[in-house]
Amino acid sequence: MSTHATAPRPVPAALHYAEVAVPGAVIGLVAGAFAAGVAALAGLPAVQIATIATGLGIPLALLGAGYCALLAAGRFGVGAVGPVALYWLVGFPLARLLDQYTVATVLGYDQILSEPLLSFLAFQAMLSIGFAIGFLWLHERLAPHLLIRIQRHNPVAADLVRRYVEQAAASAKRPASSAGRGRRRDGS
């Protein structure tokens, strides 16, 4: 038996990114669970509810994880709404289309959509902006807590924590906006 200690093996970068991607994946799964909850409240059959949860939750989880990986890679700025809205403008309609396909396939429907494809995608694109804002809001409140916990062993998380701190410092330096800008106190 050897008494010398072996050096710890380096962790592949992909695992660091995967760990950072957890909050986005969780948010996507929760969104799928909410959709399933709405389906349950509507009285849909259990098979359809489960199909909605997985058919929407898994694509949204993958897209949420993808957002986190792109954020960690520096493709998105911390808290930047515009790029996130564009990301979900493409991703959300595709996730919904996959959800519709999954539900139709599992339930044996002959028709996937009850409306023309372009109408469906356009409507989902409009909904995507609200989803993007909600996703970003949740992500900005949940992810930093995880990143702070894992930054000691995960250099990708440590870099993201640094970027969050820099953004917070820059925000703190901005002057506070005056609520009544352009108005006089005498009411005129």
Angle between helices 81-107 and 117-150 (to 10 degrees): 120
**Residues whose CB falls within 8 Å of the CB of residue 67, separated by 6 or more in sequence, listed in order:** 24, 76, 84, 87, 135, 139
End-to-end CA separation in angstroms for the chain? 89
Sign of the torsion angle spanned by Cα atoms 170, 172, 174, 177:
positive
Residue 110's φ and ψ, nearest 5 degrees, are -80, -30
Give mean pLDDT, residues 25-31: 98
In which band, very low, low, confident or very high, does the pLDDT at 19 lie, cut at 50, 70 and 90?
Answer: very high
Model pLDDT for residues 109-119, shown as the tens digit of each residue: 999 999 999 99
Structure letter (DSSP) for residue 43? T
Which 3 state secondary structure label does DSSP give 32? helix
Q: What is the model's pTM?
A: 0.84
